[in-house]
Structure 1
Amino acid sequence: MHPSIEELRQLSCKTLESQKVPEASAWLQTDLLIEAELRGLPSHGFQRLPRLVKRLQEGFAHPRAKGRAEWVRPAVLKVDGEQGLGPIVMTETLNLLELRVRQEGVAIAAIRNANHIGMLAYYAEAAVALGRIGLFLTTSEALVHPFGGTEPMLGTNPIAIGIPTDDTPFILDLATSLVSMGKIHHHALTGTQIPKGWAVDAQGHGTTDPVAAKDGAIAPFGDAKGYGLGLAVELLVATLAGSAFAPDVRGTLDATHPANKGDVIVLIDPASMGGNGTALAAYLDSLRASRSADPADPFTVPGDRMRARREAAMKHGITLPDTLLNEIRGLVPT
């Protein structure tokens, strides 16, 4: 089905408001889901709404919580998310950091006890819109096997970096796993096989069945390199946020436990370090103009394809599986 963006926004906002989520918070949570769909990331889009509603109903997501923040150093912020909606807690934290960055040039926040924050590129774009460099890290349940292993021991542990330039900003958003578990769930939802090498089943055997993969483990990207980077994020976030390690993390893929993963934000004023946005833009353009291995596939830098997908989706609309759209429509109270 091809619902309009406005229909999806209305359905989601009305559903969230029916669970006592304030209007502005419902709009923000919904906007993040829409932006994920527009960028071709359905794993972080509306397939998460039914679970989020269930978490609100069960008391594992608090509709009005914005997080309790404490400055433990002039530029170091500690945040207890109080089980608030992830985008709300993240945005409140980003706003607090921005105020401090104006004074200090750099500030860092560590968040615990907040719900799933969704697509990290959303926050990286918010940072560059303020003229700031933004670094965002988050953790998840144990979904990824170590390089050479078969058991889920690490989170997907995404990283996003946003860097403003005098033209198009640099936006990098990637998981340290080969794919997100949300993408596995999307394949299961749509009944399509996953590529070989993405995951193993519960017995540690390679599988192309997304349902079997949900009970198994995802591969790290880049073999040992992705494993090492994912482990570094795991240790860094757990150390700074005081959050659980992956085998004990719950709450981003279920509606039966409080969320106990962690998030870290670093916000930097590039002007405080003499940053040159013109030079950055020129360098990125030189990369785009460099020789491509396939002339039919022009060279891009991180963020370009995401923006292109969004532009196309704004023209042609969002596609949702019929079963998911019907489920979302059924969430709206009559």
Structure 2
Amino acid sequence: MTTLTLPDAHALIVAAMTACGHSAEAAETIADHLLDCELRGLSFGGLARALSIVERIRTADAPPQPIRVVAETPVSATVDGGDQVGYLVGMRTLQLAIAKARAQGIAIVGARNTWYTGMFSYYLEKAAKAGLAGVIAGSAPALVAPHGGTEARFGTNPIAFGFPATPTPIIWDIGTSAVMYGEVKLKARLGEKLAPGQAYDAAGTPTLDPAAALEGAFGVWGGHKGSGLALVVQLLGMMTGAAADPPGVSGCGLFVVLFDPGALTDAGDYQRRVAAFAEMVRATRPVEGGRPVRVPFDRSVACRDETLRRGTVDVPEVVVAALRQEAGRA
């Protein structure tokens, strides 16, 4: 592992993103999102993902096009991402949704023609700071087998819910696959094995080989219940105009709904009640020998705070070396 200071990690991402064609502003937007993943201990979505972004851009058949709003009403919008990376498309989508939800009390915004949209909790944390609650769902190319099957039919299909509260929001952000795409890519890059029961090869045989899993299918999270949720998320993503089964790393759908609690109740009182309820959940008596009970997003916040205090992140040497090589192209 290579230990990087946080400014050095940020600068390395920016340099690599600039070298593969992003503007300085776009590179900063991407870097902020990826570094937040590293701060929260989700290394597969951090600097390793920056390398995957570079590789996707280098192998694209055509250059990306500008992000465009192709349909709009006071409470809705449809965004064509122009095959831009999802960290940029996601922020444009979020900004539209926040503005509309503030003005109208509710907003539904969909984006299509994008890829690698990142952590939905990243977007919902920003929405919560604006006093808004919300739901984000995302469809993707087929990587995951439905319950009882061994062929890919769903994307990894994350879904997240966010609720404003003080001092931190309540955000539940999950993927509907047994293992996330970024984790499999990172393990393949590092020559590591998957855990048993996470994936199948192209012939439908269980595999621990991440490269074989990328050619086959990941397992679904949560048995038949998770499989049903994955199907629903795919359908929500398709509502943006995204294809059911786009090719390669492309064609993701991003479905965002934000709403102002003040449209239904006193917004400040609601935030206080959310915070009080979260404290009641945390105060639950744990199982014998168990850790204190947490609510969603507690782990992320605690890990981020600790990483910020430490001021460094540990990144696989192969990832750092490859990013430095890419950055050198600038």
Partner-residue secondary structure (3-state), 1:161: strand
Which digits, 9 at most, give the CA deviation of each residue in 1:277-308, with x for residues without a partner?
Answer: 11111111000000112444111011001112
Which digits, 9 at most, give the CA deviation of each residue in 1:116-153, with x for residues without a partner?
Answer: 21111111111111111121111122111111111111
CA 1:14–1:63 in structure 2 vs 1: closer, same or farther (change >3 Å)?
farther
> Aligned partner of 2:87: which letter?
P
Aligned partners of 2:258, 2:313: CA distance in 1, in Å? 32
Please say if residues 128 and 163 of structure 1, whose CA atoms lie closer than 8 Å, have aligned partners that are also in contact: yes
Please say if residues 16 and 50 of structure 2, whose CA atoms lie closer than 8 Å, have aligned partners that are also in contact: no
Aligned partners of 2:308, 2:223: CA distance in 1, in Å? 36
1:267 to 239, 254, 258: 258
TM-score, scaled relative to structure 2: 0.92
Partner-residue secondary structure (3-state), 2:315: coil
Please say if residues 139 and 235 of structure 2, whose CA atoms lie closer than 8 Å, have aligned partners that are also in contact: no
Aligned partners of 1:171, 1:60: CA distance in 2, in Å? 37
CA 1:315–1:103 in structure 2 vs 1: closer, same or farther (change >3 Å)?
closer
> Aligned partner of 2:313: which letter?
I
**Structure 1 stretches lacking a partner, 5+ long:** 252-258
133-142 or 44-53: bigger deviation = 44-53
Counterparts of residues 7-22 of structure 1 (less than 5 Å): 7-22=8-23
**Structure 2 stretches lacking a partner, 5+ long:** none
Q: Which residue of 2 aligns with 1:32?
A: 33
Please say if residues 78 and 241 of structure 1, whose CA atoms lie closer than 8 Å, have aligned partners that are also in contact: yes
Counterparts of residues 158-237 of structure 1 (less than 5 Å): 158-237=158-237
Larger proportion of strand: 2
CA 1:30–1:89 in structure 2 vs 1: closer, same or farther (change >3 Å)?
same
Please say if residues 132 and 267 of structure 1, whose CA atoms lie closer than 8 Å, have aligned partners that are also in contact: yes
Q: Which residue of 1 aligns with 2:284?
A: 290
RMSD: 1.9
Q: Does 1:280 align with 2:274?
A: yes
Aligned partners of 1:198, 1:160: CA distance in 2, in Å? 22
CA 1:36–1:184 in structure 2 vs 1: closer, same or farther (change >3 Å)?
same
Aligned partners of 1:218, 1:164: CA distance in 2, in Å? 33
Q: Which residue of 2 aligns with 1:250?
A: 248
- 1:231: how far off? 0.3
Q: Does 1:86 align with 2:77?
A: no
Q: Which residue of 2 aligns with 1:51?
A: 52
Aligned partners of 1:197, 1:204: CA distance in 2, in Å? 12
- 1:242: how far off? 1.0
CA 1:56–1:215 in structure 2 vs 1: closer, same or farther (change >3 Å)?
closer
Partner-residue secondary structure (3-state), 1:173: strand
> Aligned partner of 1:188: which letter?
A
- 1:233: how far off? 0.9
Please say if residues 135 and 160 of structure 2, whose CA atoms lie closer than 8 Å, have aligned partners that are also in contact: yes
- 1:42: how far off? 1.9
Aligned partners of 1:266, 1:291: CA distance in 2, in Å? 34
> Aligned partner of 2:325: which letter?
G
Counterparts of residues 104-115 of structure 1 (less than 5 Å): 104-115=104-115
Partner-residue secondary structure (3-state), 1:330: helix
Which digits, 9 at most, give the CA deviation of each residue in 1:164-218, with x for residues without a partner?
Answer: 0133210111001122121122222233322211112222122223232222211
Q: Which residue of 2 aligns with 1:254?
A: none
> Aligned partner of 2:286: which letter?
S
CA 1:21–1:77 in structure 2 vs 1: closer, same or farther (change >3 Å)?
same
Please say if residues 140 and 156 of structure 1, whose CA atoms lie closer than 8 Å, have aligned partners that are also in contact: yes
Aligned partners of 2:19, 2:322: CA distance in 1, in Å? 16
Percent identity between the two aligned chains: 33
Q: Which residue of 1 aligns with 2:6?
A: 5
Please say if residues 156 and 176 of structure 1, whose CA atoms lie closer than 8 Å, have aligned partners that are also in contact: yes
Aligned partners of 1:122, 1:60: CA distance in 2, in Å? 30
- 1:64: how far off? 7.6
CA 1:60–1:320 in structure 2 vs 1: closer, same or farther (change >3 Å)?
farther
CA 1:62–1:122 in structure 2 vs 1: closer, same or farther (change >3 Å)?
farther
